[in-house]
């Protein structure tokens, strides 16, 4: 059954170009178009699309307000189109806060180009969002949020009452770990590794088998870790906001965050999280020191890794040009495996593709602990599924349980 798409844009060029690209794929059906937010809301109600592509700046009703209404009245996966400017990043994050699932840059030069770049990105995102269970029966808006619609907001993003919080994080530095073997062999290796011991988490052999059961938070044993590393992509901004806003300022470990985003977006996203969270959040810079209660976000277009010579600092580098993702979860995971070994708690959250799976193998080989987000609370169950299917996840957790589990932790030793 084809994925139904509604195109919303006040630009005739963009409406035509998006439709032209989508009609090339038989798995996708364009069911309509709208020229402003008001029309978008009306057509979302009547056409019931699986995915909506949404412009930001439009007459009568802008894209952000349209998303808010759609999420309240007829929740649908929305793909925002916005510029890669600082202001475009801010607006896009507001739209994602309102409930949008993902975004694409609105660079007219790229969209006029007949090459495969933007075409592939658009189709991949539409197919992934169309296959998502996010708004189906039993989705995140049904299974853990009975009051969400009653309160007038169906988005799962947590909004603190105040955007200004005092910073009381400890200034203690993370304890450097012993040196381990170089990273160079890491990401390409496929040697057998020790997998999670729970029968529910053993590798699956076919795509027909059921997902492993979600771990009950009361049964989860927090590892003896010294650092938390979180990797995510599509749906990640909302997931990270949900988790990080529940962590207290005196959280005893440093946190590394890898979110697939362009450069301008990571800077704005880090500033936004820093305003919303009790812990401190900043975009990582080369040489930044790891500190308890500080989350460092990998800059877009670069790679972030723990310094192999000083395990209490990060390096921010260009990295291998052959790597698909910049930043890459695999790269940061691999560096954590080398620097901290078994003392790592790695989280893999919602996102397309399998970035993080190779790095998770290296972490597992060192005895680290890996938590994966469960399918039902993911926007896109790609990256966590790859880790779970490989038998590398120690726990499969609902998004709602991750923040409270982290918040309960106290430093050991």
Query: In sequence order, which residues have a C-beta less than 8 Å from that of residue 57 and are 6 or more positions away?
Result: 10, 63
Among residues 94, 47, 26, 85, the alpha carbon closest in space to that of 8 is found at 47
The predicted-structure confidence for 124-151, as pLDDT tens digits, reads as follows 999 999 988 677 543 444 444 433 333 3
Which of the pair, 159 or 76, is modelled with greater confidence? 76
What's the rounded Cα separation, in Å, for the pair 208 and 186? 31
Please give the full DSSP string across 275-303, using - where no structure is assigned.
Answer: HH-SSEEEE--TTPBP-TTEEEEPPTTSE
The predicted-structure confidence for 69-117, as pLDDT tens digits, reads as follows 999 999 999 999 988 778 888 999 999 999 999 999 888 788 887 667 8
Q: What is the average pLDDT across 30-51?
A: 97
Asked if residue 222 has pLDDT above 80, the reply is yes
Which of the pair, 85 or 358, is modelled with greater confidence? 358
Asked if residue 200 has pLDDT above 80, the reply is no
pLDDT of residue 210: 74
Q: Of 66-70, 92-96, 194-198, 337-341, which range is least confident?
A: 194-198
Could you identify the residue written with the tokens 């806060």? 97
3-state percent breakdown (helix, strand, coil) of the chain, nearest 5? 35, 15, 50
SS3 (DSSP) at 37: helix
Cα-based distances in Å from 240 to 138, 200, 295? 22, 26, 11
Could you identify the residue written with the tokens 């052999």? 205
Residues linked to residue 397 through DSSP beta bridges, in sequence order: 373
Best CATH choice for the domain 3-131 from the list 3.40.50.2300, 3.40.50.720, 3.40.50.150, 3.40.190.10:
3.40.50.2300
Among residues 276, 251, 331, the alpha carbon closest in space to that of 298 is found at 331
What does the block give as tokens for 118? 């933007």
> For 159, what's the count of Cα atoms within 13 Å in the CB-facing half-sphere?
11
- The torsion angles phi and psi of 123, rounded to 5 degrees, stand at -65, -40
> pTM (2 decimals)?
0.81
Residues with catalytic function: 233, 260, 355
Which of the pair, 76 or 164, is modelled with greater confidence? 76
* Range 265-270, long-range pairs (CB < 8 A, 24+ positions): 265/84, 265/89, 265/92, 265/93, 265/300, 266/297, 266/298, 266/299, 266/300, 267/86, 267/89, 267/299, 268/86, 268/89, 268/90, 268/93, 269/89, 269/93, 269/237, 269/297, 270/297
Which of the pair, 316 or 57, is modelled with greater confidence? 316
Asked if residue 244 has pLDDT above 80, the reply is yes
Among residues 128, 403, 360, 142, the alpha carbon closest in space to that of 251 is found at 403
CATH class of the region 213-407: alpha beta
Among residues 321, 280, 289, the alpha carbon closest in space to that of 302 is found at 321
Exposed / middle / buried, residue 145 (Cβ in 10 Å: 0-12, 13-18, 19+): middle
Q: What is the mean pLDDT of the chain?
A: 84
Q: Evaluate whether 312 touches 173 at the Cβ level (below 8 Å).
A: yes
As a whole-number percent, the residues of the chain with pLDDT over 70 amount to 81
Q: What letter would DSSP give residue 375? A: G
pLDDT of residue 412: 62
Where does the chain hold its CATH 3.40.50.180 domain(s)? 213-407
Most confident of the ranges 74-88, 147-161, 227-241 = 227-241
What's the rounded Cα separation, in Å, for the pair 410 and 413? 10
Q: Evaluate whether 308 touches 183 at the Cβ level (below 8 Å).
A: yes
Query: In sequence order, which residues have a C-beta less than 8 Å from that of residue 309 and are 6 or more positions away?
Result: none
Between β-strands 344-348 and 314-317, what pairing exists: parallel, antiparallel or unpaired? unpaired
> For 269, what's the count of Cα atoms within 13 Å in the CB-facing half-sphere?
31
What's the rounded Cα separation, in Å, for the pair 310 and 98? 40
Asked if residue 167 has pLDDT above 50, the reply is no
Asked if the peptide bond before residue 278 counts as cis, ω within 30 degrees of 0, the response is no
What's the rounded Cα separation, in Å, for the pair 381 and 131? 10
Asked if residue 254 has pLDDT above 50, the reply is yes
Q: Evaluate whether 63 touches 92 at the Cβ level (below 8 Å).
A: no
């Amino acid at each position: 059954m084809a994925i139904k798409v509604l195109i919303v844009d006040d630009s005739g060029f963009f409406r035509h170009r998006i439709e032209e690209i989508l009609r090339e794929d038989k798995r996708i059906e364009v069911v309509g178009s709208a020229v402003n937010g008001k029309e978008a809301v009306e057509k979302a109600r009547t056409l019931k699309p699986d995915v909506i592509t949404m412009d930001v700046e439009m007459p009568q009703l802008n894209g952000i307000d349209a998303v808010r209404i759609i999420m309240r009245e007829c929740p649908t996966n929305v793909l925002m189109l916005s510029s890669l400017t600082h202001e475009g990043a801010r607006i896009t994050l507001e739209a994602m806060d309102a409930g949008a699932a993902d975004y694409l840059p609105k660079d007219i030069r790229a969209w006029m180009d007949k090459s495969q770049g933007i075409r592939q990105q658009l189709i991949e995102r539409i197919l992934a969002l169309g296959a998502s269970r996010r708004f189906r029966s039993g989705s995140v808006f049904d299974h853990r949020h009975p009051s969400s619609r009653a309160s007038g907001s169906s988005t799962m993003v947590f909004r603190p009452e105040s955007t200004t919080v005092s910073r009381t994080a400890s200034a203690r530095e993370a304890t450097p770990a012993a040196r381990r073997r170089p990273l160079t062999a890491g990401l390409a290796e496929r040697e057998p590794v020790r997998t999670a011991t729970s029968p529910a988490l053993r590798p699956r052999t076919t795509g027909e088998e059921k997902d492993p059961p979600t771990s009950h938070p009361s049964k989860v044993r927090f590892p003896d870790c010294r650092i938390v590393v979180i990797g995510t992509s599509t749906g990640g901004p909302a997931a990270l906001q949900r988790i990080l806003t529940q962590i207290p300022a005196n959280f005893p470990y440093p946190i590394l965050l890898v979110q697939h985003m362009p450069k301008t977006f990571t800077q704005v996203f880090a500033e936004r999280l820093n305003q919303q969270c009790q812990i401190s959040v900043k975009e990582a810079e080369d040489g930044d020191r790891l500190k308890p209660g500080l989350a460092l976000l990998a800059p877009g277009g670069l790679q972030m890794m723990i310094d192999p010579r000083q395990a209490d600092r990060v390096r921010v580098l260009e990295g291998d040009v052959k790597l698909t993702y910049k930043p890459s979860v695999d790269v940061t995971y691999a560096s954590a495996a080398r620097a901290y070994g078994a003392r790592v708690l790695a989280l893999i959250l919602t996102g397309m593709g399998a970035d993080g799976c190779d790095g998770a193998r290296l972490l597992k080989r060192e005895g680290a602990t890996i938590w994966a987000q469960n399918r039902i609370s993911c926007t896109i169950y790609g990256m966590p599924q790859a880790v779970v299917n490989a038998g590398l996840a120690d726990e499969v957790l609902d998004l709602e349980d991750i923040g409270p589990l982290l918040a309960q932790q106290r430093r050991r030793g």
